Amino acid sequence: MNKVILMGRLTRDPELRYTSNNLAVCSFTLAVNRGFAKQGEERQADFIPIVVWDKQAEFCSKYFTKGLQVAVVGRIQVRSWDDNEGKKRYTTEVVANEVYFADSKKSDIADKVQDPQLAEPADGFYPLEEDDELPF
């Protein structure tokens, strides 16, 4: 079991790319605030990279914008890679398989969108093919 639920704001507009296999991947960072502000201090936040695949990727790319408050459900993924000195590095991101508007005005969209594909979110363990590597 590997479940993550986040609510936060996009730090930038999302980026949409395609794998060599022509599968859509959308990426953005969520600023997730921690608790309430302390007297005289700014609220702290965690900046968490999110990756979304396929139909959901296109949905995010179309409707999400910088500053928008959204909620996502997904799983934590830890990828390892070698830096240019040949040292092993680790990248952690949240692979989201459900995305929501957490914003009054925008959440009306969900009432209008009727793409049946969107009603069946890709499951948490997306069946990536050998060549469906992340394009970044």
Partner DNA sequence: TTTT
Q: Could you give the CA distance from residue 98 to residue 100 in angstroms, rounded to a whole number? A: 7
Residue whose C-alpha is closest to residue 60's, from 15, 102, 108, 105: 15
The closest alpha carbon to 23, from 50, 57, 74, 51, belongs to 57
Q: Which does 31 bind (CB under 5 to 8 A by kind): DNA, a copy of itself, none?
A: DNA
* Other CB atoms within 10 Å distance of the CB of residue 10: 19
- Residue 11 or 19: which CB sits closer to DNA? 11
CA 33, 96, 132: angle at the middle one, nearest 5? 135
Residues 59-118 that bind a copy of itself (CB under 8 A): 69, 71, 73, 75-78, 92, 94, 98, 100, 102-105, 107, 110-116, 118
Residues that bind DNA (CB under 7 A): 8-11, 29, 31, 33, 42-43, 45, 47, 66-67, 80, 88, 90, 104, 108, 111
What minimum distance in Å lies between the beta carbon of 19 and a copy of itself?
18
User: With CB cut-offs between 5 and 8 Å by kind, which of DNA, a copy of itself, none does residue 84 bind?
Assistant: none
Instruction: Please report where in the chains the tokens 């009054």 appear, as a residue.
Output: 104
CA distance 6 to 13: 18
* Residues 17-56: x where in contact with a copy of itself by CB under 8 A, - otherwise, as a string: ---------------xxxxxxxx---x--xxx--------
**Contact of 24 with 135, CB cutoff 8 Å:** no
Which residues contact a copy of itself (rule: CB under 8 A)?
1-8, 32-39, 43, 46-48, 69, 71, 73, 75-78, 92, 94, 98, 100, 102-105, 107, 110-116, 118-121, 123-125, 127
